[in-house]
Amino acid sequence: MSELLQATWGGVLAGSVYGLMAVGLTLIWGAVRLLNLAHGALYVAGAYAAWTVINVGLPLAVGIPAAVIAAGALGYGMHATIIRPMLGRPGWDSASIIATVGVGIALQAAILLIFGPRVKQLPAVVSGSTVISSVRISYQGLVIVLVAVVSLVALFFYLRSSRQGMAIRAISQHMDAAALMGVPVHRTYALVMIISAGLAGLAGVLLSSVLFLSPTSGFTPMIIALLVTIFGGLGSVKGTIVAAYLIGMLEASVQVYLGGAWALPALFGFIIFMLIVRPSGLFGVPEAQRL
Amino acid sequence: MTTSQSNPPRAVDLIDRAAAPWRSPKWGAVSSLGVLALVLPIVLLRFGAGTFMVHLLITFFLWSVVAQSWNLVLGVSGIYSFAQIALFAVGGWVTGVLSMSYGWNPWLSLALAPIVTTAAALVIGLPSLRLRGVYVVLLTLAFHELLRNYVTNGPRVISGGGYGLIGVPRLDFGPLSSFSHLVPSYYLALFFFAVATFAIWWVFQSPIGVAFAALRDSEGYAIGRGIDQFRIKLFLFGFSAFFTGLAGGLMTHYLGSISQSIFAFSVLINVLAMIVIGGWGSFGGPILGTALLLGLQEGLRDLADFRTLVLGLALASVAVLAPSGLWPKLRDGFRDFLDESPDDEEESDQGRDLLVDTAETSEHGSGAQSVAPD
């Protein structure tokens, strides 16, 4: 029983953070058709921004918005330097992937140069923990889940009801038609990049208060976020959020019942099986229908 | 070939000749390069830094084959596979483990390396090649990570306790190895490079290569014309894995070791940069890129910390500013320079543009019209 509880709590915690990462990826994919392989670097950049702020002597409560702003600014920079000049050119698919890989490495290398290779850890917002039937639940974990869930719910309603959210959805459905209806395409893309990068930064600062932080620590969360995105159905925000919690649960149960080394292989095995059985993911529309 | 005198040339002839340029290769350039490569170590070894230069050339030969085969998958066929380094490692580990721990003759285990690598590639290819773009990225990166995990935490014969394989026996060159290990290794690597490059060049120019380019540029149209994309992608995947695995095996025996650091993301990125900066999807691009990056690596040795930063920025700016890489630009510049004698050569190049280099012609996009002289 306590193992099951342990796995559930671990799954909710991991799923919240993966959700933040993966929703960013899926937003960019849905709107711009860009696979952003710099997402992991944005995660790390956000975490280091928060670390800098905290090192100056400010609390983590200031660090979190700092991380979001720093990552969002980098996202805007990516829009201005990569997406804007390249969009619509032939060979966009491959060139854009390469460009994001390049930005990701450059960003990581810059962070390594500035902060050095030593592993860091962010302090907790609130310390202490409570024990519910032999499962230790830290207050910090509760804060993470709370912040993530609030952000995801806010994003969901923002996309559903606000004017800009509707513009994002219109563009992801049909860019040309949306442009003809007067949706400012480039401004909306910039917005998508800022939101997505900001979410990555948020995930970075939240997860780095639990795990350790190093310039390369963004890689695994990015791979898992990619996995979540594909599981949920590329381009579907709702599917991604559901998938994030399912994947988080799966990872946590494998860790609890089989051991930590099996987590990643099990996830990959699961997703390969998933791709064979249902290639469009949980909530995804099959490729042919979307076109 | 008899109609080459007719004026103006018929488009069909141009296409025929461009589709089979191995019938009329530029023997002058190829043979002079070959002679240079044969003589080079003998000259270099007379100088102080010669040993290091020869070592660098061997490295160049082996890595350029990896870059070329990856380019076949990534650039020519548009499969976003990131499993190439993992396949390189498969080749290295197979021959390393067999010759070191099981006492196989290195030549025998080396011969097995590309076969096992090809089999591994087919195993990854079967699930992932039915999918497109993003999914392939995920599955191949997954393979990379899983393999890294396995060779780090796997049985001691394979992981070497986490340090990899150290003390892999070198290849036995018989009577040749009596005077130096370096020189026979050089000629072996050169031979391998020549064979692999020729095979890749042949695939590039053959109808198979044209089918790859067609699949990449307009999948629907290519399938409509009856190209079986799954089979052709699987063939390409296996073909490129064969040479990659052999390169991995040769590297392992040459260096006498292979370690888990081969799986570092920076290695993957380095080879990717060779392809992208040299020229994505073109034949000469990866070779040029390998030479450039290896040269840069030595040149920027003092700037070691900034190297990755520079590399990342270079990757991004090439992707944004010159997506087809340096090779097409260089080649066009060279062609313009030789433009005073627009004879046979020029015509066949036009035909080749029409057939193969569709990625590049989209830039100076009039390849198709320029070969319609009636």
Nearest 5°: the CA angle B274, B279, B284 is 90
Query: Token digits for A103?
Result: 């930005």
Residue A261 sits in a domain of what CATH number? Answer: 1.10.3470
Nearest CA in chain A to B141: A223
Q: Which residues in chain A are closer than 8 Å to B306, comparing Cβ atoms?
A: 109, 113
Show which residues on chain B lie within 8 Å of chain A, measured between beta carbons.
74-75, 78, 80, 127, 131-135, 137-139, 141-142, 145-146, 149, 153, 265-266, 269, 272, 276, 280, 305-306, 308-309, 311-320, 323-324, 359, 362
Provide the pLDDT for residue A42.
Answer: 94
ipTM above 0.95, yes or no: no
Q: Which residues in chain A are closer than 8 Å to B280, comparing Cβ atoms?
A: 94, 98
Closest to A200 (Cα-Cα) out of A28, A10, A79, A8: A28
Nearest to A106 among B276, B309, B318 (CB): B309
Residue A131: its H or E element = strand A129-132
Q: Give how many domains chain A has, as a whole number.
A: 1
Smallest Cα distance from A212 to chain B, Å: 19
A252, with CB counted inside 10 A (0-12, 13-18, 19+), is: buried
Q: How many CB pairs under 8 A join A and B?
A: 129
Smallest Cα distance from A275 to chain B, Å: 8
Provide the pLDDT for residue A48.
Answer: 93
Tell me the pLDDT tens digit for each residue of B189-217: 999 999 999 898 888 878 887 887 787 77
Nearest 5°: the CA angle A222, A223, A228 is 95
Provide the pLDDT for residue A261.
Answer: 74
Tell me the pLDDT tens digit for each residue of B323-359: 788 888 887 777 777 665 444 444 444 444 444 444 4
Torsion, CA A119, CA B310, CA B248, CA B143, rounded to 10 = 50
Smallest Cα distance from A99 to chain B, Å: 4
CA B82, chain centre distance (Å): 14
HEC string of A183-197 equals CCHHHHHHHHHHHHH
- Per the model's pLDDT, the better-predicted residue between A280 and A219 turns out to be A219
Q: Please judge whether B265 and A219 are an interchain contact, meaning their C-beta atoms are less than 8 angstroms apart.
A: yes
For residues A121-128, average pLDDT: 75
Q: Please judge whether B127 and A276 are an interchain contact, meaning their C-beta atoms are less than 8 angstroms apart.
A: yes
Q: How many CB atoms lie within 10 A of CB B173?
A: 17
For residues A9-31, average pLDDT: 89
Closest to B97 (Cα-Cα) out of B167, B39, B14, B173: B167
CA A20, chain centre distance (Å): 4
Beta bridge partners of A138: A129
Termini Cα distance of chain B: 20
Q: Please judge whether B134 and A102 are an interchain contact, meaning their C-beta atoms are less than 8 angstroms apart.
A: no
CA distances (Å), origin B163, targets B159, B160, B170, B355: 7, 5, 19, 48
pLDDT over 80 (residue A151): yes
Termini Cα distance of chain A: 47
Q: How many CB atoms lie within 10 A of CB A156?
A: 15
Nearest CA in chain B to A79: B320
Q: Hey, of B79, B81, B134, B270, which one would you mutate to test binding to chain A, going by the most A CBs within 10 A of its CB?
A: B134
Q: Please judge whether A89 and B323 are an interchain contact, meaning their C-beta atoms are less than 8 angstroms apart.
A: yes
Torsion, CA B96, CA B98, CA B104, CA B105, rounded to 10 = -30
In whole angstroms, what is the distance from residue A261 CA to residue B163 CA?
Answer: 18
Nearest CA in chain B to A217: B265
Q: Please judge whether A219 and B317 are an interchain contact, meaning their C-beta atoms are less than 8 angstroms apart.
A: no
Q: How many CB atoms lie within 10 A of CB A139?
A: 14
Amino acid occupying residue B113? A
Nearest CA in chain B to A97: B319
* 3-class DSSP state of A286: coil
Amino acid occupying residue A213? L
Average pLDDT, consecutive stretches of 10 residues, N- to C-terminus, chain B (374 residues): 53 62 63 79 73 86 93 83 91 90 85 92 82 78 85 80 79 68 85 91 81 78 83 87 93 88 84 86 86 82 77 86 81 71 45 45 38 36
In whole angstroms, what is the distance from residue A103 CA to residue A40 CA?
Answer: 11
Q: Hey, of A268, A276, A280, A287, which one would you mutate to test binding to chain B, going by the most B CBs within 10 A of its CB?
A: A268
Model-level pTM greater than 0.90? no
Amino acid occupying residue B120? A
Nearest to B323 among A35, A91, A107 (CB): A91
A8, with CB counted inside 10 A (0-12, 13-18, 19+), is: middle
**Domain range spanning residue A72?**
2-290
Instruction: Name the percent of chain B in helix, strand, coil, to the closest 5.
Output: 80, 0, 20
Q: Please judge whether A101 and B315 are an interchain contact, meaning their C-beta atoms are less than 8 angstroms apart.
A: yes
